Structure 1
């Protein structure tokens, strides 16, 4: 796919720098951008040349939310339909539901969630609406001291989208999630830090360097298979009702990593040298994906 709204660049260090690239529109979100983001994260997940992903925005904004200037339903939805929960359960990928009912931001977030590569969000400016919720499945978020963030859906009479009712309480806790979505305010980076939405607030000119530093360390010093398993284990097992489910998965994950990259890791540790991991995320153990 040719990208019109994104800049996709993979460095020799294995880090994909993915930029939202509509700077004159403050990187506002469109259906086209949604489709391109889904493709980009699917592509990155399947590409062994990509070991980690950094997401940021071109220009002065990260993403200013949905482009509300589109004709018709600005969210790209088909108002001739009257979908039910049964439709969502049984016909989720039916073209009529997929194109006319499913939340576009949710499709993007699910593609990030399913990605086998760690994702770092570098929030360089305004991140509002979908610009805020698309960062929630990113594993580590850094904010520029110029960033402003808002879960502003209540201002225009809609609800938080992009699976944020699943992600946001897990990231910041239910009380903080409800406060931010009820109040629908736009807040600064320090408020995001106090609420534990971001790991750190970084001087604007240092933001991308700091994000790339984290990504490079993961990309060059860690097992691709181990990282891919760890990412899905943390997200999926934490949602299980009993720790036995986690025990079942991590027993298999420990078994297969110990006879794979784990052998090199132990040897390198004993020899006091950097490990040279050869495992590929395209060659996962046979039990992966265990949730299907």
Structure 2
């Protein structure tokens, strides 16, 4: 699939997804959002892809936030010029009725950044960020559901929403406190101040900081470390288990998920291969396909403990 505002390059099991609007500091648009979602769909369906790395084009920015070309109406989604691409046929053009009531289920109300965050959350491959410059607004929040974030020494993070008269988006009110703690989250979001890569690392927002010319290689090395010796379907399941259980109210939810996942995986050829290759002291040859063999389960409801 061809893209206009991103680039997707696949090589030796790694997909490099580059936000590509260097003349606008890779500012986020509706088209970019749709292309990111489509690229992740493509990567999940391609068993040759083991991990996805996000980065930005150019040296100045990973993503400078929402494109503010719309001026003061930028965040008034009811007035956006590109809204037609988000409206299914037959849906009213505005969520606001003539009497002033609002249809809160209308597609124009749904946050575009959140569409990206939720798609990353649902990804079946590890997703990493190689943050090569300014990561502001959605440029910061879209990185939060990623499994690892590596930053260039030139990177800057900014959760600037209150300074723009809006609020954090992209489900960041869920993700950010879990990554950096509530005290750091309120500090960053209330003040809207920019922090450098070193402070982002100290707060747990990024795992490591690298020289600009070494960032992508470091991210690729990290992606390979995560995936090279592991069964792809096991990685996909583990990714979903860990992220979902962060919001579970009781460990019994994890026990139910673990039990079903272990049962499903234990019956697979991958489990036999994992044990046999270990005993034979050789690299494993896992054959199960993420695209075709992923044992998806519906979200589990709370239930009494096993007897």
State if a TM-score over 0.5 links the two structures: yes
Query: Hey, what does 1:207 align to over in structure 2?
Result: 215
The alignment partner of 2:157 has SS state of strand
Query: Hey, what does 2:303 align to over in structure 1?
Result: none
The alignment partner of 1:16 has SS state of strand
- CA offsets 1:236-291 (integer angstroms, 9 cap, x no match): 122111110110111111122223212111111111111111111123354x1322
Determine the C-alpha separation between the residues in 2 that align with 1:86 and 1:281: 41
Query: Hey, what does 1:174 align to over in structure 2?
Result: 182
Question: CA contact under 8 A between 1:256 and 1:285: conserved in structure 2?
Answer: no
Instruction: Pick from 260, 268, 271 the counterpart of residue 262 of structure 1.
Output: 271
Determine the C-alpha separation between the residues in 1 that align with 2:96 and 2:250: 37
1:36 matched to 2:27? The reply is no
Determine the C-alpha separation between the residues in 2 that align with 1:153 and 1:85: 26
Distance verdict in 2 for CA 1:50–1:75, change over 3 Å: farther
1:114 matched to 2:122? The reply is yes
Query: Hey, what does 1:94 align to over in structure 2?
Result: none
Shifted more, 127-136 versus 245-254: the winner is 245-254
Q: TM-score when scaled to structure 1?
A: 0.91
Determine the C-alpha separation between the residues in 2 that align with 1:48 and 1:271: 26
The alignment partner of 1:253 has SS state of helix
1:71, distance to aligned residue in structure 2 (A): 6.3
Q: How does 1:50-69 map to 2 (within 5 A)?
A: 50-60=49-59, 61-69=61-69
Unaligned runs of 5+ in 2: 80-93, 301-307
1:45, distance to aligned residue in structure 2 (A): 1.7
Shifted more, 77-86 versus 267-276: the winner is 77-86
Count of aligned residue pairs for this structure pair: 282
1:50, distance to aligned residue in structure 2 (A): 1.4
Question: CA contact under 8 A between 1:31 and 1:104: conserved in structure 2?
Answer: yes
Question: CA contact under 8 A between 1:104 and 1:162: conserved in structure 2?
Answer: yes
Question: CA contact under 8 A between 1:17 and 1:54: conserved in structure 2?
Answer: yes
Across the aligned residues of Structure 1 and Structure 2, the Cα RMSD in angstroms comes to: 2.0
Question: CA contact under 8 A between 2:95 and 2:103: conserved in structure 1?
Answer: no
Larger Rg: 2
Question: CA contact under 8 A between 1:168 and 1:177: conserved in structure 2?
Answer: yes
Distance verdict in 2 for CA 1:162–1:266, change over 3 Å: same
1:220, distance to aligned residue in structure 2 (A): 2.9
Unaligned runs of 5+ in 1: 92-96
Distance verdict in 2 for CA 1:185–1:22, change over 3 Å: same
Query: Hey, what does 1:127 align to over in structure 2?
Result: 135
Determine the C-alpha separation between the residues in 1 that align with 2:112 and 2:257: 31
Determine the C-alpha separation between the residues in 2 that align with 1:291 and 1:87: 27
Query: Hey, what does 2:152 align to over in structure 1?
Result: 144
The alignment partner of 2:242 has SS state of helix
Determine the C-alpha separation between the residues in 1 that align with 2:140 and 2:257: 31
- CA offsets 1:69-107 (integer angstroms, 9 cap, x no match): 13683247115534999944xx4xxxxx22x21111011
Query: Hey, what does 2:233 align to over in structure 1?
Result: 225
Determine the C-alpha separation between the residues in 2 that align with 1:170 and 1:85: 35
Question: CA contact under 8 A between 1:14 and 1:219: conserved in structure 2?
Answer: no
Query: Hey, what does 2:18 align to over in structure 1?
Result: 19
Determine the C-alpha separation between the residues in 2 that align with 1:240 and 1:191: 30
